[in-house]
Chain A
C-alpha cells in the first residue's frame, strides 16, 4: 500500500473512532444519568450522538477490517509507521479516558451511593474495549530486534513517566499531610482552633492508585522486562533526578536548621511555626529516596544483594556517579559563592547597613546559613562519591566516556559562568564609573557576580590539568567514525550488532533480489516485465555490477 492510501485509511479510522466514542460516551451518560440532573431530560438532545454513532461506526468497522486484512497478509504493512502511530494514538486516548474514569471512581468511592453517578462508567464501557482491540496489534513484537516498534516504545515511555510523576506528586502530598499530622500530634497546644485530625484528601489517594496502575502496566509488565536503550536512559534520568531532589531537600532542611540556630531568641515561635518547613521539604526527601532506592538498586551493588531488576550495561552506574559528583561540585560552588558574597557584604553591613536587605536578625542570616549548608552537603557528597569512584578499579569503556563528558560539563559550565559574571561585573563597574557613583553601593551590586567569577575561576584552576589532558587525549586518540547505509539482502542480518559497533549505521535497508540483467536495450526493456510480478507500489534499486551487467533489487521495508 502506498503512503497516501495508508494515510487516508488511518486518518479515516482515527476520525471515525473518535466521533463514535464521543457520541457513545455521551449517549451512555444520558442513559445512565437516571435522575437526568446532569444532561437534562430532553430526549432530542441525544440526536447528534445517535447520528454520530450511526455514521461513524460502520465506516470505522469496515476500514478497520480492511486495514487488519492487509496487515495480516503483508508483514511490512503491519510494521508501517503510520499504522503504529494510529494504534498508539488510540491507546493514548483510551488510557487517558480510563485513567480519568479511575480517578473519578476512587475519588467518589467513599460516597458511592449518593455522589457517584453511573455516568462515570460510560467512558470505561466505551474506551476499555477500544483499548483491548488496539493493544494487541500495537504491541506485536514491539521489542524484537528486527522490527522494533519505536512508536510503541515512545507510548510506553510517556505512560511510564506520567505514572511516575503522578506517584511522586500524590505520594509526596500524602506524606506531607502525614508529617503535618505528626507535627500537630507532638505539639497539640499550637492548634488554636479547629480539629487536630489527619487531613484525608481522596484526590491524592485516587491519583496515587491511578499512578501505580499505569506504572505497573508501563514499567512492570513492559519496560522492565526488556533491556532496551531507552530503559537505560530512563533509569539514568530517574536515578540522577531523584538523588538531586534528595540532596536539595536535605540542603534546605540543614540550611533552615542553621538559620533557626542563628536566629535563636530573636522571635518567640511555636514548635509548628518553627518547623513548618520540615514536612514541606522532608516529604520530597522521602519520596525521592523511595524512587531512587528502587531504580538505583539495578546498578548500585548492595551487600544484602537486594535489587529489583538488572541492567546489563555499566553505563548507568558511571552516569550516576559522575552526575552525583557534578551535583557535589555545584553544591560546593553554591556554598562558596554565597559565603564569599556574605563576606563581601560585611563592610557594607558595618558602614551602610541600609543598602542590604537584612533578615529578622538584622544580618543576612539566610545567605550564611545557605552557604554553610551547601558547603557541608557539597563536601560530603564530593568526598563520598570520589571514594566510590576510586574504589571501583574496573576500567570500563563507559567509565572513560562518562568521565570525559563530566569534565566537558565542568569546563563548559564554569567557563560560561565565569564569562557571564565578568561581563556583569564590568557592565556594573563601567556604568557606575561613568555616572560617578563608585563606592559601597557598587560593591554591594557586584559582590554576587564577583563571587561567581572567583568561585568558577577556582574550579577551573583546580580542574585545569584534567581538562587539558582530556582535550589533548581526545585530539590524539580520537576514533574516526564511518557512517554507512546498508542494503541487506539477508546475509548481513546476523552481523547487525557487529556492524553497528564498527560503523555508525545511518539506515538499514532490507532488499530482495530480482535478478541480474545485461546492460543492453532488450534486457533493460525486459526489466518491467519482471517487476510486474512484484508490483508497481514497490521502490526498486538498480546497481551496476560491471560494464555489462546490473543487479535489480526491491526494498523490503
Chain B
C-alpha cells in the first residue's frame, strides 16, 4: 500500500533528522514543563487545564512547521518530481503526509500525557477513547490548515509568511497561551472565529471539568469540516513542481476554507456565548481532583462567614483593601456587608469598585486581604474553599506566607458566575504544615482583581478549610 509505505518512510526520515526529532518530541515537553511548572506551579488541576493548550500547541506546531513546511520543501527541492513518474497520484502523497503526521503525533502526545500524569499528578478526567478522538480530530483539522497554506504558497518564503501570520494569531488569541477568560471581551469575541479556540475549549472542558465529549460536538464538527476543506483544497491545488505557480484566483478560492470558522464564529457570538463555559473550565483550576469526603471539614474549619459581624466597621478592621494608587493607578475598591449571604446565611462580604489603570500600569488592580492562622492540627485538610459570585472577570485568590518560603505560594484564578459557586484553593502542604515549618505566624489570604478598565463586583462567603 503506497500510502502507508511513504508514510512510514517519512516517519523514518524524521527520526533521522535531529532538528526534526527535537521539534517533534522534545519541544512539546519543554512547553509542558513551562506550562505545568511555571504557570500551573505544579497544581494538578491547573495542569489538567493547561494540558489542552499544550496539546493544541503541539498539534499546531507539527501541522504548520512540520507537515506544511515539509510539503513546500519537497516541492521546492524537487523530490516530489520523482514520485510523479511513478503510478501514484496527489491523493497518495497527501494521505501519506497526513498519516505520517498523525502517527508522529500519537507518541508525542502520549509522552506529554505520561509526563503530566507521572510528574505533575494530573487528574485523568477523560477516557482514553475521548482523548484519542480529540487528538485525531485536532490533528486532522490543523493538518488541513497546514496543507492549505502549503498549497497556496508559491515559495517557501511565502509559506513562512502565511504560517507566521496564522501561527501568531492563533497562539495568542485563542487560549493556547493566555486563558481566554483573562483576555478582554473583544478578544474573546474574536477568538470565537479561530479553530484552535474550539480545540483548546474542548480539551479544557473534558480534561479539567470532566464534561462529556458530546458537549463539544459542534466544535468537533467544525474542526472535522475544516480538515475536510483543507484536504480538498490541497488535492485541488496540488503541485508537483516548484515551477508550477498558483494563480491569484485560486488563492482567493482558498478563502472558502475559512467559511466554517466564519459561520461558527458568528453563531457563537450571536447565539451560543461560550464565555461562561470557558469561565467554568477556568474556575475548575481551583477544584481538587476527585475530592474524597473529608471528615475534618465542618464548622471547626471555618475561617470567616461574616455572620458574626454587626457592622461594616468591624469588617474593615479584619479586612484591608488596597488599590493600584502606589503605581499611579486610579482604581477604587471597597468592601461592604451584604445580606443575605450564600445559601441564605446572614451575611456575606462584597468587594466592588472600578479598575482604572494609570500611565505606569496598563492593568488596574484592587485587592482585599485578611490575616489567617493555619490550624495547629491540619491533618486531613487539603486547602481553602469559599463561596463566590459576581460579575464575570478574572479574580485571583492566594495565600501569602508570613516570611519568604521555598515552597510555591498557593494561588488560583477564577471567574465568578451570577450564582454562588464553590471555589477551592488547594494547598499541597496543608496536611502536615508543622513538618514544613510553615504554620508559624499569620498568613495573608488575598483576593485580588486585575485586568482591563471597568467595574467589578465580587461576593464572598463561607471561607473555610476543607
Q: Say whether A and B bind each other.
A: no
